[in-house]
Amino acid sequence: MAERRNSGYAKTLPPWAKLHRLFKYNPDSGSLRWRYQDPEPSQGFNARFAGQIAGWVDTTTGYRAVMIDGIGYGVHRIIFKMMNEEVGDEPYDVDHKDGDKENNRLDNLRPASRMQNTWNRKISSVNTTGVKGVYPWTSNGVATGKFAACVTKNGKKYHCGVFSSIELAAQAVQSKREQLHGEFARHE
Protein backbone atom coordinates (compact mmCIF):
# COMPACT_ATOMS: atom_id res chain seq x y z
CA MET A 1 0.00 0.00 0.00
CA ALA A 2 1.38 3.41 -0.94
CA GLU A 3 1.98 5.90 1.83
CA ARG A 4 -0.47 8.77 2.02
CA ARG A 5 1.31 12.03 1.49
CA ASN A 6 -1.16 14.23 3.28
CA SER A 7 -0.96 15.27 6.89
CA GLY A 8 0.06 12.78 9.48
CA TYR A 9 -0.79 9.35 8.09
CA ALA A 10 2.31 7.91 6.45
CA LYS A 11 2.69 4.48 8.02
CA THR A 12 6.42 3.81 7.99
CA LEU A 13 8.31 6.47 9.91
CA PRO A 14 11.88 7.45 9.06
CA PRO A 15 14.60 5.63 11.02
CA TRP A 16 15.02 6.41 14.71
CA ALA A 17 18.49 7.97 14.16
CA LYS A 18 17.18 10.32 11.45
CA LEU A 19 14.37 11.52 13.72
CA HIS A 20 16.92 12.34 16.42
CA ARG A 21 19.06 14.25 13.89
CA LEU A 22 16.05 16.33 12.79
CA PHE A 23 14.20 16.94 16.05
CA LYS A 24 14.56 17.61 19.76
CA TYR A 25 11.74 16.55 22.08
CA ASN A 26 10.83 18.41 25.27
CA PRO A 27 9.20 15.91 27.66
CA ASP A 28 7.87 18.63 29.97
CA SER A 29 5.86 20.45 27.30
CA GLY A 30 5.44 17.59 24.82
CA SER A 31 6.78 19.82 22.04
CA LEU A 32 8.94 18.77 19.13
CA ARG A 33 11.45 21.31 17.79
CA TRP A 34 13.65 21.37 14.71
CA ARG A 35 17.34 20.86 15.41
CA TYR A 36 20.08 22.96 13.85
CA GLN A 37 21.13 21.25 10.59
CA ASP A 38 24.49 21.06 8.82
CA PRO A 39 24.97 24.66 7.67
CA GLU A 40 26.29 23.84 4.18
CA PRO A 41 23.01 22.87 2.44
CA SER A 42 20.67 24.15 5.15
CA GLN A 43 21.51 27.80 5.82
CA GLY A 44 18.02 29.03 4.89
CA PHE A 45 16.43 26.25 6.89
CA ASN A 46 18.44 27.04 10.01
CA ALA A 47 17.64 30.76 9.80
CA ARG A 48 13.90 30.05 9.58
CA PHE A 49 13.27 26.85 11.52
CA ALA A 50 16.09 25.72 13.84
CA GLY A 51 14.79 25.81 17.42
CA GLN A 52 11.18 26.40 16.33
CA ILE A 53 8.27 24.07 17.14
CA ALA A 54 8.04 21.59 14.27
CA GLY A 55 5.06 21.34 11.97
CA TRP A 56 1.55 22.74 11.87
CA VAL A 57 -1.88 21.77 13.15
CA ASP A 58 -3.76 20.09 10.32
CA THR A 59 -7.21 21.67 10.16
CA THR A 60 -8.83 18.50 8.80
CA THR A 61 -7.58 16.16 11.56
CA GLY A 62 -6.64 18.44 14.45
CA TYR A 63 -3.25 16.70 14.78
CA ARG A 64 0.11 18.45 14.59
CA ALA A 65 1.93 17.20 11.50
CA VAL A 66 5.34 17.70 9.93
CA MET A 67 6.84 17.07 6.50
CA ILE A 68 10.01 15.00 6.12
CA ASP A 69 11.30 14.45 2.60
CA GLY A 70 7.92 15.48 1.19
CA ILE A 71 5.86 13.05 3.29
CA GLY A 72 3.53 14.08 6.10
CA TYR A 73 3.79 12.45 9.52
CA GLY A 74 1.89 12.93 12.76
CA VAL A 75 4.12 14.59 15.34
CA HIS A 76 2.73 12.31 18.07
CA ARG A 77 3.94 9.27 16.10
CA ILE A 78 7.40 10.79 15.63
CA ILE A 79 7.66 11.55 19.35
CA PHE A 80 6.57 8.05 20.31
CA LYS A 81 9.15 6.45 18.02
CA MET A 82 11.92 8.81 19.16
CA MET A 83 11.31 7.88 22.78
CA ASN A 84 10.75 4.16 22.11
CA GLU A 85 13.50 2.92 19.83
CA GLU A 86 12.41 -0.69 20.33
CA VAL A 87 8.97 -0.24 18.70
CA GLY A 88 10.41 -1.06 15.28
CA ASP A 89 8.85 -0.25 11.93
CA GLU A 90 5.56 -2.12 12.22
CA PRO A 91 2.55 0.04 11.39
CA TYR A 92 0.64 1.07 14.48
CA ASP A 93 -1.39 4.02 15.64
CA VAL A 94 -0.33 6.19 18.54
CA ASP A 95 -3.25 7.01 20.80
CA HIS A 96 -3.63 10.11 22.97
CA LYS A 97 -4.92 8.62 26.23
CA ASP A 98 -6.77 11.81 27.21
CA GLY A 99 -8.11 12.46 23.70
CA ASP A 100 -6.29 15.82 23.49
CA LYS A 101 -4.52 15.84 20.11
CA GLU A 102 -2.20 18.65 21.24
CA ASN A 103 -1.04 16.83 24.40
CA ASN A 104 2.07 15.07 23.10
CA ARG A 105 3.67 14.35 26.46
CA LEU A 106 5.06 10.83 26.43
CA ASP A 107 2.94 9.70 29.38
CA ASN A 108 -0.15 10.56 27.30
CA LEU A 109 0.90 8.53 24.25
CA ARG A 110 0.54 4.78 23.80
CA PRO A 111 0.69 2.35 20.88
CA ALA A 112 -2.70 1.15 19.68
CA SER A 113 -4.29 -0.80 16.89
CA ARG A 114 -6.55 1.24 14.62
CA MET A 115 -9.54 -0.37 16.36
CA GLN A 116 -8.29 0.50 19.87
CA ASN A 117 -7.69 4.06 18.74
CA THR A 118 -11.32 4.35 17.58
CA TRP A 119 -12.56 3.07 20.95
CA ASN A 120 -10.89 6.05 22.60
CA ARG A 121 -12.79 8.61 20.49
CA LYS A 122 -14.83 11.29 22.15
CA ILE A 123 -18.60 11.30 21.93
CA SER A 124 -19.96 12.14 18.49
CA SER A 125 -21.20 15.66 17.88
CA VAL A 126 -24.45 14.21 16.49
CA ASN A 127 -25.24 12.26 19.67
CA THR A 128 -28.65 13.37 20.94
CA THR A 129 -28.61 11.88 24.45
CA GLY A 130 -25.28 13.19 25.71
CA VAL A 131 -24.16 9.64 26.54
CA LYS A 132 -21.85 7.71 24.23
CA GLY A 133 -23.53 4.52 23.00
CA VAL A 134 -27.02 5.50 24.20
CA TYR A 135 -29.80 6.52 21.82
CA PRO A 136 -33.58 7.05 21.99
CA TRP A 137 -35.48 3.81 21.45
CA THR A 138 -38.25 3.92 18.87
CA SER A 139 -40.97 1.47 17.96
CA ASN A 140 -42.19 1.66 14.37
CA GLY A 141 -40.56 5.09 14.10
CA VAL A 142 -42.35 6.45 17.17
CA ALA A 143 -40.44 7.63 20.24
CA THR A 144 -41.08 5.41 23.28
CA GLY A 145 -39.40 7.52 25.97
CA LYS A 146 -36.93 4.68 26.53
CA PHE A 147 -33.24 4.44 25.72
CA ALA A 148 -31.19 1.71 24.07
CA ALA A 149 -27.52 1.11 24.78
CA CYS A 150 -24.93 -0.62 22.62
CA VAL A 151 -21.16 -0.93 22.22
CA THR A 152 -19.27 -1.95 19.07
CA LYS A 153 -16.15 -4.09 19.01
CA ASN A 154 -14.49 -5.43 15.86
CA GLY A 155 -17.54 -4.56 13.75
CA LYS A 156 -20.00 -6.39 16.02
CA LYS A 157 -22.66 -4.50 17.98
CA TYR A 158 -23.25 -5.62 21.55
CA HIS A 159 -26.71 -4.55 22.69
CA CYS A 160 -26.93 -3.86 26.39
CA GLY A 161 -30.70 -3.54 26.51
CA VAL A 162 -33.51 -0.97 26.51
CA PHE A 163 -33.89 1.16 29.64
CA SER A 164 -36.44 3.50 31.17
CA SER A 165 -33.87 6.24 31.80
CA ILE A 166 -30.68 7.61 30.29
CA GLU A 167 -28.91 7.01 33.61
CA LEU A 168 -29.66 3.26 33.60
CA ALA A 169 -28.66 2.97 29.95
CA ALA A 170 -25.42 4.89 30.69
CA GLN A 171 -24.51 2.50 33.53
CA ALA A 172 -25.08 -0.54 31.32
CA VAL A 173 -23.17 0.80 28.32
CA GLN A 174 -20.23 1.97 30.44
CA SER A 175 -19.93 -1.42 32.12
CA LYS A 176 -20.03 -3.23 28.76
CA ARG A 177 -17.55 -0.78 27.19
CA GLU A 178 -15.06 -1.34 30.02
CA GLN A 179 -15.46 -5.10 29.60
CA LEU A 180 -14.94 -4.97 25.81
CA HIS A 181 -12.51 -2.05 25.36
CA GLY A 182 -10.42 -2.33 28.54
CA GLU A 183 -7.90 0.50 29.01
CA PHE A 184 -9.10 2.14 25.75
CA ALA A 185 -12.68 2.60 27.00
CA ARG A 186 -13.82 6.24 26.81
CA HIS A 187 -17.21 7.22 28.18
CA GLU A 188 -17.46 10.92 27.35
Give the global pTM: 0.78
User: Between these two residues, 3 and 147, which has the higher pLDDT value?
Assistant: 147
pLDDT in tens, 75-118: 999 999 999 877 665 667 899 999 999 999 999 999 988 888 88
DSSP string, 70-94: TEEEEHHHHHHHHH-GGGTT---EE
Domains of the chain in start order, with CATH, are 16-112 (3.90.75), 134-184 (3.30.730)
Supply the Cα-derived Rg of the chain in whole angstroms: 21
Asked if 64 and 50 touch (Cβ cutoff 8 Å), the reply is: no
Compute CA distances 114 → 69, 75, 90, whole Å.
25, 17, 13
pLDDT in tens, 119-140: 988 888 899 999 999 999 999 9
